[in-house]
Chain A
Amino acid sequence: MSERAPKGASIVFETVGKAFTKPGGGTVSAVDDVSLTVEAGAITGIIGRSGAGKSTLLRMANGLERPTSGKVLVGGQDVGTAQGAALRAIRRDVGMIFQHFNLLASRTVAGNIALPLEVAGVPKPKIKARVADLIDRVGLTAQADRYPAELSGGQKQRVGIARALATEPKVLLSDEATSALDPKTTQTVLELLKDINRELGLTILLITHEMAVVRDIASHVAVIDNGKIVEAGTTYDVFTAPQHPTTRAFLSGVLGVTLPTFLKDKIQDTRPVGPAEEVIRVTFAGKHATDPMLALLTRDLGLQVNILAGAVEEIGTRPFGNLLVSLDAAKGADARAYLERHGLLTEVLGYVG
């Protein structure tokens, strides 16, 4: 299980739509005109609120849902129209793990992992060897003959991961795989997914409603809102320069940089008449993350800058800083121009009169 060459497959959504028929007639659009390329061998996160359509989008990657318009290609094969044996063959190349694990209560750990191999018609002795390998891979050797009811949540998800890897898939789909786990267990499961991605080179597409999960393992992220992809890019770019309000809303939770409450209540979108303070979010990315820019700003422009909140974060191994400051609104434009000239990103959050 240590082949080095990436063997992941890309997933391409081409103007994909999915409409459901309502019981009383009419349709609801769950996914609307989505075009997204999931790079082979990368870990890509799709983040969205519940009901945003992320689950439907993920399920189109292995044909559990059929698109009503557009195309879904996995490794160049059209999943959306594949039928019968062809669809089942594609599905063996696409593993899937679930929020509630979906393990068979009637089978042991080893039995659960063997299931996809039995389904694929692998001969028994081969199944045995492969299952032993996989159990070892996810660190459950001591639990091989236990039943799911005897396992902790983290162990169950490890079984789920081993089962999903059994047929040596090119793609792993993760449906909120850590949402039912506590934070510590979440970390160990995410680490396992990262290791698998690195060692096996398979593509991982995960959906989540937690930005922390994206930050911790995804190299790419797409934000879905109301069935549409509103923002997509590398995790670093999206984190350091979010464009869409939904993205910002997700980020505010994970960055730990939010406005103090006393300001939140007073802040307004338009600049009031008379003296006012402008509230700015300054993002230090890459090599500027540790520069003493505010000191320079004060020195060069003679500005008084109030620091409201701030933190330095890491994505992968690249640091970036996030700072909320307020300064005289009359000089706001100058200050922002100065900061951007020095390679920082700024965003006006509002004004306080």
Chain B
Amino acid sequence: MSANLIALLIEATGQTLYMVAISTLLGTMFGLPLGVFLAISQRGELLSAPWVNKVLGLVVNATRSVPFIILVVAIIPFTRAIAGTSIGTTAAIVPLTIAAVPFIARLVENAIREVDSGLIEAARAMGATPFQIIRKVLVPEALPSITLGLTLAVVSLIGYSAMVGAVGGEGLGDLGIRYGYQRFMPDVMAVVVVILIVLVQLVQSIGEWIAARVDKRAPKGRGQ
């Protein structure tokens, strides 16, 4: 493999990491509060608003029903309005984020709903405001699950990022298609796949390590 190709592979890996990192960041910024709200706005919960909850739930489901490749193409005007252009790596972050938000929201919602309702009751009995309950009880208690959920989201986004070549987004997936498939260079395809496998493994391991670090639910080492 030529030095030229190696440089391309390194560049593509960087582009993939860039797209995934920014879209994860933005996806969490919007998805975390949305997920918390979805969890606590159900009937009888902390901020009961069943109708708003239903409408938001529908929007989230609708977004998640659209296959990613169709989402990428369907929102091109929106992407252009946000990013100034509809092609390129930076533009690809828009559809990636749009896909990440509802996904992360659902993961966060599930994590928050797993928090023992007794803790919410205890916090209410202390005179905590709903916002204090979210910040000091729900999110910290759900953090191990949220961390694992975000790991899952990052892995999915690495997969999605391979599709954004369709709108001129670059990265490992695009490189694999253009060189490995269209120019019939199986060695490039193989290296791309190996890099992706290594990336996913790394993300998964790091995610699990962080989740274990923040999880204080089971005693580790220090006995009773």
Contact = CB atoms under 8 A, between A and B. Distances in A.
Interface of A: 62, 64, 87-92, 94-96, 98, 100, 102, 104-107, 115-116, 118-120, 146-152, 167, 173
Interface string B211-223: 0001011110011
B136 interface: yes
A116 B137 CA distance: 11
Given A102-B116, A104-B119, A107-B140, A150 B224 contact: yes
Contacts of B132: 119
Interface stretch (B2-10, B67-75, B123-131, B197-205): B123-131
Given A104-B119, A149-B216, 17 more contacts: A62-B125, A90-B127, A91-B126, A98-B121, A102-B116, A104-B137, A105-B141, A106-B141, A106-B143, A115-B123, A119-B123, A146-B222, A148-B216, A149-B219, A150-B219, A151-B224, A173-B125
Given A88-B129, A120-B127, A149-B219, A102 B140 contact: no
Given A64-B125, A98-B122, A115 B136 contact: yes
Interface of B: 116, 118-119, 121-129, 132, 136-137, 140-141, 143, 214, 216-219, 222-224
Contacts of B127: 87-92, 116, 119-120, 167
Given A98-B122, A116-B127, A104 B217 contact: no
A159 B217 CA distance: 16
A90 B129 CA distance: 13
B123 A106 contact: no
Contacts of B218: 149
A60 to B, nearest CB: 12
Nearest to B217: A105
Contacts of A96: 122, 125
Contacts of A105: 141, 216-217
Contact of B124 (A64, A89, A147): A64
A147 B218 CA distance: 9
Contacts of A119: 123, 126-129, 132, 136
A266 to B, nearest CB: 47
A152 B122 contact: no
A37 B119 CA distance: 29
Nearest to B125: A96
A134 to B, nearest CB: 14
Contacts of A146: 222
Contact of A150 (B118, B121, B123, B222): B222
B217 to A, nearest CB: 5
Given A149-B217, A149-B218, A151-B224, A104 B141 contact: yes
Contacts of A150: 219, 222-224
B138 to A, nearest CB: 10
Contacts of A149: 216-219
Contacts of B217: 105, 149
15 contacts: A64-B124, A64-B125, A91-B126, A92-B127, A98-B118, A102-B121, A104-B119, A105-B217, A115-B123, A115-B126, A118-B136, A120-B127, A150-B224, A167-B127, A173-B125
A116 B126 contact: yes
Nearest to A148: B216
A102 B118 contact: yes
A91 to B, nearest CB: 4
B154 to A, nearest CB: 22
A64 B118 CA distance: 12
A74 to B, nearest CB: 13
A102 B122 contact: yes
Contacts of B128: 88, 119
Contacts of B214: 106
Contacts of A151: 224
A90 to B, nearest CB: 8
Contacts of A95: 125
Which of B124, B129, B141, B214 has its CB near the most chain A CB atoms (within 10 A)?
B124
A95 B126 CA distance: 7
Which of A62, A64, A90, A105 has its CB near the most chain B CB atoms (within 10 A)?
A105
A167 B123 CA distance: 13
A91 B126 CA distance: 6
A106 B140 contact: yes
A94 B127 CA distance: 9
B223 to A, nearest CB: 8
A90 B125 CA distance: 10
Contacts of A90: 127
Nearest to A118: B136
B220 to A, nearest CB: 9
Contacts of B122: 96, 98, 102
B121 A92 contact: no
A147 B214 CA distance: 12
Contacts of B222: 146, 150
Which of A62, A91, A150, A151 has its CB near the most chain B CB atoms (within 10 A)?
A150
A234 to B, nearest CB: 28
A87 B129 CA distance: 10
A230 B128 CA distance: 35
A87 B136 CA distance: 19
